[in-house]
Amino acid sequence: MRRIATAVITGSLLLVTSAAAMADDHWSVAGSAGTTGLGANVSWRFHDHFALTAGYSGYNYDDLEHTNGDVTYKGEVDMDIYSLKLDIYPWVNSGFFISAGAVKPDVQLKAVGRYTGDGALEDFGISGDAGNARLNGRAKLSDNVEPYLGIGWRNSSKQGLGFYAEAGAFWIDPSVSLTPRGDIFDSSVTGPAARAAVDQEVRNQEDDLRSDLNKYNVYPVAVIGIEYTF
């Protein structure tokens, strides 16, 4: 899928230089809300059938809670998404467009996981009170610039206030890292044995969480808003 999306994007962007001088241009700005948070973008309709759009969206959610097996995680999500896309308008007098471009998703998750099983750390052969034992977790949806494909509606061919909407998806490649923390893990006396005892469980938790984040290999984009064309 990534190769197909990249090929479509590359071919589409090659049309920009040859088409830019073929029609009067229009500029429009839009504000939106949706699965990527609150955002804004600027679009240059340089041709009857083409526009170049740059945008930003993001949000912070600090009430994240997720349970995997006997571990419950609580934390936050911090999302910043930057995009540059070529919008293709098949019909000159219609606001419908097909979009292809690149997205830089800076999406980070930070959470603390605590074991909620009946036996606490005794399940792993560790004696003593679990106390403040925990898993400090960090995750990212992607470290790269990712291809994006979508469709939408924007009245950028004529001046005035209009409706803006877009739906699409971009590729993700999540990474997850969990680190045991707490007195029993940080101690120079009990730490090495305690960390070794839970190492396999930590790796299993990382694999499960990564699979949850990467269930469909893509992040869905669905936004609505208003735009004004100059």
Domains and CATH numbers, the chain: 2-229 (2.40.160)
For residue 172, give every residue at least 6 positions away whose Cβ sits within 8 Å of its Cβ, in sequence order, or none.
105, 141, 142, 146, 213, 214, 217, 218, 219
- pLDDT digit string, tens, across residues 14-63: 444 444 444 568 899 999 999 999 999 999 999 999 999 999 999 999 99
pTM: 0.80
Give the number of other Cβ atoms within 10 Å of residue 219's Cβ.
Answer: 24
With cut-offs at 50, 70 and 90, classify the pLDDT of residue 185. confident
DSSP secondary structure letters along 112-146: EEEE-STTGGGGGT--S--TT-EEEEEEES-SS-E
Distances (CA, A) of 173 to 142, 144, 150: 5, 9, 19
H or E, element range at 199: helix 191-213
User: Phi/psi of residue 4, each to 5°?
Assistant: -65, -45
With cut-offs at 50, 70 and 90, classify the pLDDT of residue 7. low
- pLDDT digit string, tens, across residues 98-119: 999 999 999 999 999 988 766 5
